[in-house]
Structure 1
Amino acid sequence: MTDKLPQKQRLLSLDVMRGATVAAMTLVNNPGDWDHTYAPLEHSVWNGCTPTDLVFPFFLYMVGVAIVFAMETRKEDPANHGHMILVAFRRMLSLWAISWIIQLFFHHDTPPEVTGFWSKVGYVLGHLRLPGVLSRIGLVFFICTILYLKTTQKTRDWLMAFALIGYYVIMTFVPVPGIGPANLKPETNIGAWLDRLVFGVNHLWRESHTWDPEGLLGTIPAIGTCLFGIRVGTWLKRTDTEPGTKVSWMFVYGVLAVILGLIWDLFFPINKALWSSSFVLYTGGLATIALALSYWMIDVQGRKKGVWFFVVFGMNAITAYVVGDVIGSVLDFIPTGQGVRLMGWINRDICMKLFSPYNASLARAIIYVFISWIPMYWLYKKKIFIKV
């Protein structure tokens, strides 16, 4: 294995993986029929890990890798740190605001008895989900930016270990106030109790209103996922190591993390909703293996055929996620004259007429991904890259 990778070259494999992750997010979030969805495209009911459960941790992991590649040079001058932290803080607030605006304008339901514009606005605000995917990304990004700028890699390794072990201790040994002994059940674990205390039941995940899969306490191990990415990003950024050696050690790190995660799963189950410590190691290990393979094939060997579809998503990853989250609602404003709006017509008169129920649901989701890709391709061609 020889070193033929230019030091200044952009890490294209990272863009490809981010793009593939966003495409996967869009795919699994937009089936034609939730009652006819293939099992790998659904989240685990509770413990366990499906391919869909890998999507969000992979994205947070790549946020960590991207922090290194975006900030390493400027990090060397401490005079830049204040401005970089301020920018990270603004991005966090922007992601929170976007998350809540999407709910206000695109994902809100009001009971029939709530009438009048301002009454509906008041109801939606009173039931706004405060945690969420974008909110967690923003908070983790901000905290990990500070840690990257102000601590050494050795310190970050220790912090990751303390975060995962500390979270395990809290979740499995600390009694839950008003409920009883520590437990890992959805509604009665200490994380769910804390979310109800801080946010109130009306501001949690609308499917339960008693707990939230992106809850406050789960931010601790989620930071561990991002720190895992920073650790690998720092390794990839080294200029004194050949790509072949980097890839070999990344595979070793990845396999070891997966094994440790599976061992920890025996007494702290792999669980995406809890973002358990075993889940961090298991998914971080798989992400490292996937990035090692992508890095070797794309950046080192130069095998780039067909990757541009995902690069279009990856170069504007957050924007692509937002577009994928709202474009269906936008298209549903378009009438077809067939008794349904545009996306409903695509599902009913195209997908369901051509395929079986499960394949029709999948086909509609794939069409949705391609529709979401079109505006991102326009941004890509115009060289518009939006940093939220």
Structure 2
Amino acid sequence: MDRKGEFIVTSDKQQSKPSTERLQSLDALRGFDMLWIVGGAQLIRAFAKATEWRVADVMEKQMWHAPWHGFTAYDLIFPLFMFLAGISIPYAITSRLEKDVHTNDVARRIIRRTVLLIIFGAIYNGALSNFENARIASVLGQIGVGYCIAAFSFLYLRKFKPVLLAFLAVSIFVAIAQLLITVPGYGAGVLTPEGSMNAYLDQLLLPGKMYRENYDPQGVLCMVSGAGITLLGVLTAMILRLRTWSGYKKAAIMVGSGLSLILVSLLINPWYPINKEIWTTTFNLLTGGISLILFAAFYLVIDVFRLSRWSIPLCVIGVNAITIYLAARLFSFNKASELLFGGIASLAEGFSAVIIVAGVILLEWLMLFYLYKKKIFLKV
């Protein structure tokens, strides 16, 4: 931190050696996040159906997206991933700059990664089999655009306050677009599937087909809004990299900031609803706050207390998150699980679906563990 209180990225002239630090808590929380996508949510749903326990039923209801306004635990998965992607940005970019990689080369790498994520997202949506009617918008595409905006912001701003202003600018821009700008035929501030600014921009600008009838939940304005929570991750990393602050102080700042964001989102919610489908700013604030608190907990336990052994199974997933996301789409782990565990499942009566889903998770994890041991990581 300089004399003016700015958070800055040190160059190789300021440090005797390049930084090689890696946060195991980042990999662990990313693995925990991905676990729900690749089978964890399905396991809870199957277990609730098999037992009909009240507690299980309550948990099962949290394993689905909110249909429109509102929030469930399942809604946190995507923004949490984007938040964690944001944390990795300062580490990756600073590491390259410390190795005397030119800023223009880093910029080209950012663009290349963004384009590849958009392409992978389109392939995930089936573009190779039906290109003429392909859905170009995608989860990976939104991650790519959010990463691009956040990475360029960090690359050219470098200081905490300007990056904070970038986060605020994105948040305010999305709020203004959704609440104050008139949508032809509907007016301003109409947060419905047909009348929202998201629907208008997606129908006007988005190539290919849309996931919904009138809009796409990974559409144009959602991509921009998603950059907000990615920038929040960048800001978190800039705090984490401060060597003059203790781990306890960093965790306390994260928790305090997270609680503040949650409170603000809930206070504004009656007038500007929390909504994942159109990725409102209040949704960003709520999920950003929860993400900060979750990461603070993982960071304290794993990187500050040094209690990390338990997290290795999660890290196995976290270091190859995109790999398992694509593999779960391209390969039928469910059929493999039925082949290997179908006999046992048939004896379990009402719990057969639980065993099959558990088998899917096991097979996915074993594949990732093999890649982990061989040090094979898909890097975009």
Partner of 1:136: 142
Aligned counterpart in structure 2 of residue 281 of structure 1, from 271, 285, 301: 285
Q: How is 1:274-353 mapped onto 2 (pairs within 5 angstroms)?
A: 274-328=278-332, 331=333, 342=336, 351=345
Whose relative contact order is higher, 1 or 2, with alpha carbons under 8 Å and at least 6 apart?
Answer: 1
Matched-pair contact (CA < 8 Å) for 1:30–1:368: no
Partner of 1:375: 367
Q: How is 1:25-174 mapped onto 2 (pairs within 5 angstroms)?
A: 25-27=37-39, 38-75=60-97, 80-104=102-126, 121=129, 124-151=130-157, 152-174=159-181
Q: How is 1:167-316 mapped onto 2 (pairs within 5 angstroms)?
A: 167-199=174-206, 203-205=209-211, 208-316=212-320
Partner of 1:20: 32
Residues 255 and 132 (structure 1 numbering): CA distance in 2 closer, same or farther, change over 3 Å? same
1:10, CA displacement in angstroms?
Answer: 2.0
Q: Please give the TM-score of this superposition, normalised by the length of structure 1.
A: 0.82
1:348, CA displacement in angstroms?
Answer: 7.4
Residues 138 and 263 (structure 1 numbering): CA distance in 2 closer, same or farther, change over 3 Å? same
User: Does structure 1 residue 354 correspond to structure 2 residue 345?
Assistant: no
Residues 352 and 40 (structure 1 numbering): CA distance in 2 closer, same or farther, change over 3 Å? farther
1:274, CA displacement in angstroms?
Answer: 1.3
Matched-pair contact (CA < 8 Å) for 2:255–2:296: yes
Q: Deviations over 1:41-99 (max 9, x none)?
A: 11111111111100000000001101112222434688621111111111112112222
Q: Deviations over 1:183-208 (max 9, x none)?
A: 111232111121112236x5111xx2
Matched-pair contact (CA < 8 Å) for 1:14–1:291: yes
1:268, CA displacement in angstroms?
Answer: 1.1
Q: Given residue 184 of structure 1, which amino acid in structure 2 is its aligned partner?
A: L
Query: How far apart are the structure 2 equivalents of 1:179 and 1:350?
Result: 56
Query: How far apart are the structure 1 equivalents of 2:102 and 2:349?
Result: 56
Percent identity of paired positions between Structure 1 and Structure 2: 26
Residues 383 and 47 (structure 1 numbering): CA distance in 2 closer, same or farther, change over 3 Å? same
Residues 346 and 260 (structure 1 numbering): CA distance in 2 closer, same or farther, change over 3 Å? farther
1:345, CA displacement in angstroms?
Answer: 6.1
For structure 1, the residue ranges without an aligned partner over 5 or more in a row are 1-6, 107-120, 333-340
Query: How far apart are the structure 2 equivalents of 1:159 and 1:319?
Result: 31
Q: Which secondary structure state, in structure 2, belongs to the residue aligned with residue 104 of structure 1?
A: coil
Report the count of equivalent residues. 350
Q: Which secondary structure state, in structure 2, belongs to the residue aligned with residue 41 of structure 1?
A: coil
1:294, CA displacement in angstroms?
Answer: 0.7
Q: Please give the TM-score of this superposition, normalised by the length of structure 2.
A: 0.84
Partner of 1:3: none
1:320, CA displacement in angstroms?
Answer: 2.1
Q: Given residue 373 of structure 2, which amino acid in structure 1 is its aligned partner?
A: K
Residues 77 and 183 (structure 1 numbering): CA distance in 2 closer, same or farther, change over 3 Å? farther
Residues 361 and 197 (structure 1 numbering): CA distance in 2 closer, same or farther, change over 3 Å? farther
1:346, CA displacement in angstroms?
Answer: 7.4
Query: How far apart are the structure 2 equivalents of 1:216 and 1:349?
Result: 47
For the aligned residues, what is the CA RMSD?
A: 2.6
Partner of 1:384: 376
Matched-pair contact (CA < 8 Å) for 2:142–2:222: no
Residues 11 and 243 (structure 1 numbering): CA distance in 2 closer, same or farther, change over 3 Å? same
User: Does structure 1 residue 10 correspond to structure 2 residue 22?
Assistant: yes
Deviates further, 150-159 or 78-87: 78-87
Q: Deviations over 1:203-246 (max 9, x none)?
A: 111xx232111110112221110010011111011111111111
1:315, CA displacement in angstroms?
Answer: 1.2
